[in-house]
């Protein structure tokens, strides 16, 4: 079943076109991109029934950042379906995590008796059934992406976003057939902060007439980090709403901490006691979904594969599969990973220096509200990491007129959540909850998330 992968290296001299001045600039240097069409993957029996391309795109002044991506063509109509750039959060978590645990066409099988070798199965609710998706490992150091210089690893919210936007521009130069497809920037969790900055970068580029001109239509963010302090603060209210703390504790905590649970006066003992009680109440929960099985304390990560298969895998255990898989030399060969570029693949690589230089992305949304764009924000409503409570608060703070009031939306003939539509004429924002959902929509509610994104991408009511 093994077929030779077709590997292609394309070098392009960059052209930046300033629309206003009609000034044609030739900027140095050229950049090169590698592309490989992958026919088979270890762990998946037979040929892949979808078109997977992996590759590197060089960004930065000297192509020093080599950003790795997985591109999957829409299984429906690649030429007409939208193009999504997907960035998994963290920051510094590989988008392979999004691909394999969320909205990509393959996922791990968790039903085998043994954990090894890792087995891949098809995901019937892959978003690639209706969209072309680039899963990008960014910033450099994330997943299989790397930098040829030490300095290339120094990054921040704004640098990350700028590089991702540069990536997209260059990727489209080598994939011109997707230039006309409606383009959406997407991601969840920490990407909630990055996606609006990328969108801002792209609109800046479009307005500046930079070629190629991207057909940007909007953005999609799930359980988005927006203002971390606000999100952490909202955990207290969320915990009360979900009855993880009692009303008595909630009132006492609010009163003693004066509504501020992050920047706490170290002399405020009453508040500190309240917060300790809160911590005790939530410490043994799976933070990404309060109803999902949490990992037993003291799980020895290094011996993951030698553990017996439990009744129900906890999230961290499921996530370990990606590391087993991506550190397998056969997998790297199949994916055409450049040898010697990545000693160990980590789902999230927190060793890369990262400066959080954007406190809140609300101002970006506020700015994008002046553009002709469609925004989609969804929240699994059982997520304690980024509670929907804070997401709803910042959306409301935009003071956008409601054009479609809060109402249930359906999937499989069941209430799948609630949605509300805002618009100021040019800018349209849809917010949806996923009832019983968690931090990562498609991970916990694949069918509902698929129906949701399909309708939204097709401009249908949720």
Least separation in angstroms between CB 5 and its own copies: 40
Please choose, from the candidates 28, 23, 130, 59, the residue with its C-alpha nearest in 3D space to the C-alpha of residue 454.
130
Instruction: Establish if 290 lies at the interface with its own copies (CB under 8 A).
Output: yes
Segment contacting its own copies by CB under 8 A, of 94-102, 143-151, 261-269, 285-293: 285-293
Which H or E run contains 415?
Answer: strand 414-423
Q: Does 410 bind its own copies (CB under 8 A)?
A: yes
3-class state of residue 321 by DSSP: helix
List the x/- string, 155-194, binding to its own copies by CB under 8 A.
----------------------------------------
CB of 143 to its own copies, least distance (A): 31
300 interacts with its own copies by CB under 8 A: no
9 touches its own copies (CB under 8 A)? no
Q: In a 3-state reduction of DSSP, which class is residue 21?
A: coil
Q: Is the Cβ–Cβ distance between 422 and 403 less than 8 Å?
A: yes
Q: How far is CA 148 from CA 54, 142, 249, in A?
A: 19, 14, 52
Choosing from 12, 180, 270, 408, the residue that interacts with its own copies (CB under 8 A) is 408
Instruction: Please report the DSSP string for 139-181 in residue order.
Output: STTSTT-EESSSGGG-EEHHHHHHHHHHHHHHHHHH-GGGTTS
Residue 386, token pair as written in the block: 């980024």
Among 280, 301, 357, 363, binds its own copies (CB under 8 A): 280
Q: Which of 48, 121, 281, 316 lies at the binding interface for its own copies (CB under 8 A)?
A: 281
Catalytic residues: 189, 383, 439
Residue 369 engages its own copies in binding (rule: CB under 8 A) = no
Q: Counting contacts by CB under 8 A, is residue 41 touching its own copies?
A: no
User: Of residues 291, 299, 305, 329, which one binds its own copies by CB under 8 A?
Assistant: 291
299 contributes a contact to its own copies by CB under 8 A: no
CA angle 418, 419, 420 (to 5 degrees): 140
Number of C-beta neighbours around residue 237 at 10 A? 19
Which of 294, 331, 398, 403 contacts its own copies by CB under 8 A?
A: 294
Other CB atoms within 10 Å distance of the CB of residue 294: 16
> Which of 265/280 has CB closer to its own copies?
280
Q: Tell me if 140 contacts its own copies by CB under 8 A.
A: no
To the nearest 5 percent, what fractions of the chain are helix, strand and coil? Answer: 30, 25, 40
The tokens of 145 are what? Answer: 């992406």
> Which residue's structure tokens are 């800046």?
204
Give the SS3 label for residue 232.
Answer: helix
Residues in the chain: 462
Which listed residue (296, 305, 329, 355) binds its own copies by CB under 8 A? 296
Question: Would you say 8 or 291 has its CB closer to its own copies?
Answer: 291
Residues interacting with its own copies, by CB under 8 A?
Answer: 240-249, 277, 280-281, 284-285, 290-291, 293-294, 296, 311, 381, 388, 392, 396, 405-408, 410, 412-415, 418, 420, 433, 435-436
């Amino acid at each position: 079943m093994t077929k030779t992968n077709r590997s292609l290296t394309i070098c392009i001299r960059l052209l930046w076109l300033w629309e206003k001045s009609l000034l044609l600039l030739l900027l140095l240097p050229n950049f090169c991109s590698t592309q490989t069409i992958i026919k088979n993957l270890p762990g998946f029996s037979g040929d892949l029934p979808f078109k997977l391309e992996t590759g590197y795109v060089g960004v930065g002044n000297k192509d020093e950042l080599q950003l790795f991506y997985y591109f999957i063509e829409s299984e429906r109509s690649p030429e007409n379906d939208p193009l999504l750039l997907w960035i998994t959060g963290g920051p510094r978590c590989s988008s392979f995590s999004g691909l394999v645990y969320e909205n990509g066409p393959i996922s791990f099988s968790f039903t085998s008796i043994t954990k090894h070798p890792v087995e891949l199965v098809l995901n019937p609710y892959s978003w690639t059934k209706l969209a072309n998706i680039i899963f990008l490992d960014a910033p450099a150091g994330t997943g299989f992406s790397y930098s040829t210089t030490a300095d290339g690893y120094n990054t921040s919210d704004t640098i990350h976003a700028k590089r991702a936007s540069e990536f997209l521009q260059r990727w489209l130069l080598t994939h011109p057939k997707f230039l006309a497809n409606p383009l959406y920037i997407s991601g969840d969790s920490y990407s909630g902060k990055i996606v609006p900055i990328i969108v801002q970068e792209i609109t800046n580029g479009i307005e500046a007439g930079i070629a190629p001109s991207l057909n940007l239509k909007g953005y999609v963010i799930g359980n988005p980090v927006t203002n971390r302090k606000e999100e952490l603060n909202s955990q207290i209210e969320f915990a009360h709403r979900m009855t993880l703390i009692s009303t008595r504790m909630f009132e006492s905590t609010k009163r003693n901490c004066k509504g501020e649970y992050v920047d706490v006066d170290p002399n405020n003992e009453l508040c500190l006691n309240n917060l300790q009680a809160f911590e005790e109440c939530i410490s043994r929960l799976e933070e990404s979904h309060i109803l999902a099985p949490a990992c037993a304390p003291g799980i020895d990560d290094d011996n993951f594969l030698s553990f017996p298969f439990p009744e129900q895998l906890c999230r961290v255990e499921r996530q370990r599969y990606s590391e087993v898989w991506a550190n397998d030399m056969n997998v790297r060969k199949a994916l055409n990973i450049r040898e010697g570029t990545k000693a160990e693949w980590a789902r999230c690589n927190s060793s890369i220096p990262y400066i959080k230089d954007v406190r809140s992305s609300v101002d970006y949304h506020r700015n994008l509200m002046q553009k002709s764009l469609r925004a989609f924000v969804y929240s699994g409503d059982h997520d304690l990491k980024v509670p929907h409570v804070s997401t709803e608060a910042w959306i409301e703070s935009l003071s956008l007129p409601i054009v479609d009031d809060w109402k249930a939306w359906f999937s499989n003939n069941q209430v799948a959540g609630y949605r509300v539509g805002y618009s100021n004429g040019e800018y349209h924002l849809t917010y949806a909850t996923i009832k019983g959902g968690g931090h990562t929509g498609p991970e916990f509610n694949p069918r509902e998330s698929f129906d949701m994104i399909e309708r939204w991408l097709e401009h249908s009511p949720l």
